[in-house]
Each structure stands twice: as C-alpha cells, then as structure tokens.
Amino acid sequence: MSSPARFPLRIAVLVVLAAGVGLVLAERLYREIEVQLAGLILRAITSSGVHVVGARETVYFGLSSDTPFGLRMTPECSSVFLLLPLLLVTSVMLYFRPQNARRLFLSLLLAAVVVFLVNQLRILTIVWLVFGLGTDEGYYWGHTLLGSMVSVLGGAVSLVLFVWLATRKTRASKDAAS
C-alpha cells in the first residue's frame, strides 16, 4: 500500500481510538444520558412515579409506593466500558482490513446500540426485581447476579454480532470466489 493511501487509513484508526478516549473522558456525561433514558423508559412502563437527577446519575422509582428506591449509576455500571473493546477491535481490524471500513463502521454502530440497550435492560431487570422481591433482596438479585449476567451475555452477543457482521462475506464476494 502506498504512503498516500495509508494516510487515510491511519487517520481512520486514530479516529476510532480517539473515540474510545473521548468516551472515557466523557464517561460521566454518557452515564447521565443512560440514566435519562432509563427514566424515560420507566415513566412509560410504570405508574409509581419516577424522578431522574442527572447531576447525580440517579433514577428514582416507586415514588408513590411505600418503598421508593434510587439507582445511582456508577462508572462500573455504565455501558461505556463495554464499548471500549469494540472500539479497540474495530481499530485493529480497520488497520488490517482497510477495504472493509464501511462494514466495520456499520458493525461497530450496531454492536454499540446493542450494548447500550443491554444496559437499559439491566436497569429494567433491577427495577423489576426490586418491585417484585423488595428493595434488599430485589437489588441483590437484580444488580449483583441477574443484572451482571445480562451485562456479560449482552456484551458477548454484541461482540459476536460485531465480528459476524464485520467478517461475513458479501454475496458478490461469494459469487466471485465460486
């Protein structure tokens, strides 16, 4: 590959890596967005009162019940750190397969959406179990066990989806190979 052709490739790889650094630096803002979305979803599916305090990265629910509860999203609970491996894999694959850049970026976008939505599902799982089992037991099962399983499985699904979309052969390449 000639030097002028490598320049856009290097820029693209650096942009993907910079996006990862940007996510880490803007991680608190990202958490606020996650909490705001969780609040919107909870308002739509519950009638027990929801309040979001974005500055504290906290969503309160069950406000009209006897046991209101607040979930504070800490950095470990955010999906931002599940996005970082996807960005790293994208940059590596982009470096070695620059001809697949369009497919890699589409794969990254879809996998990132899955990661983001899985974290919302994790939050909803916690809320559902808190409502069902009470605050102590529901939070334990929802956050520590089942919620963590949702995150791990969702992260694995997003990574498999990413790799499958990024590496599958197109119909045209299959036809050319036969």
Closest CA to 95 of 14, 176, 178, 3: 14
Question: In this model, does residue 51 exceed pLDDT 60?
Answer: yes
- Residue 13: what are its φ and ψ, rounded to 5°? -65, -45
Average pLDDT estimate for 84-108 = 92
Residue written as token pair 């990661």 = 115
As given in the structure block, the two tokens for residue 125 are 């799982």
Q: Mean of the per-residue pLDDT values for the chain?
A: 89
DSSP annotation of 70 reads E
Q: Which helix (H) or strand (E) holds 50?
A: strand 50-53
pTM across the whole model: 0.84
Longest dimension (CA), the chain: 69
Q: Is residue 49 predicted with pLDDT exceeding 60?
A: yes
Tens-digit pLDDT profile for residues 144-153 = 889 889 999 9
Would you state the pLDDT for residue 52? 95
Q: Which helix (H) or strand (E) holds 58?
A: strand 58-61
Q: Check residue 13 and give its pLDDT.
A: 93
What band does 83 get if pLDDT is binned at 50, 70 and 90? Answer: very high
- The pLDDT value recorded for residue 168 is 84
